[in-house]
Amino acid sequence: PYPVLKGIIVAINDSDNLRFYHCRPLGWISSRFLSLLGKIPQVQKSEWKAETINVRLAGIDAPEMGHFGGNPQPFSKEAKQWLTNFTLGKPAEISLHRLDQYARAVATVKVYRWGGLLGKRNVSLAMAAAGYA
């Protein structure tokens, strides 16, 4: 079994990685209610490295945005928009697998739908099913 952390998705970096804000147990409960109200914890970009976890979605490969002057891959913008709509501001749990070569946590990410009232969905599986990974 992999370690599981609970929190909220606060930013989308690319079509297959995001920023996760880990909440303590009582903070987790409040993050679910904040999500229902459409409120995302305000974490300044300058604090992201210290306050959030950079997560790479496990098990999928999605089209990359253009980085370091490179050209974006086809459908990268659509894939990132899908990931944003599906995860941003939602309470989630991540099951940590390992660190990758860029020091990102490779993890299975599950988002709670409607604050947990409708259960949780594996982001990688949903993204693949939607055709974006």
Annotated active-site positions, please?
A: 56, 64, 104
Q: Residue 113: exposed, middle, or buried by beta-carbon count in 10 A (0-12, 13-18, 19+)? A: middle
What distance in Å separates the CA atoms of residue 116 and residue 133, rounded to the nearest whole number? 25
Q: In 13-115, where does DSSP find H-type helix?
A: 25-36, 48-51, 76-87
What's the distance, CA 20 to chain centroid?
6
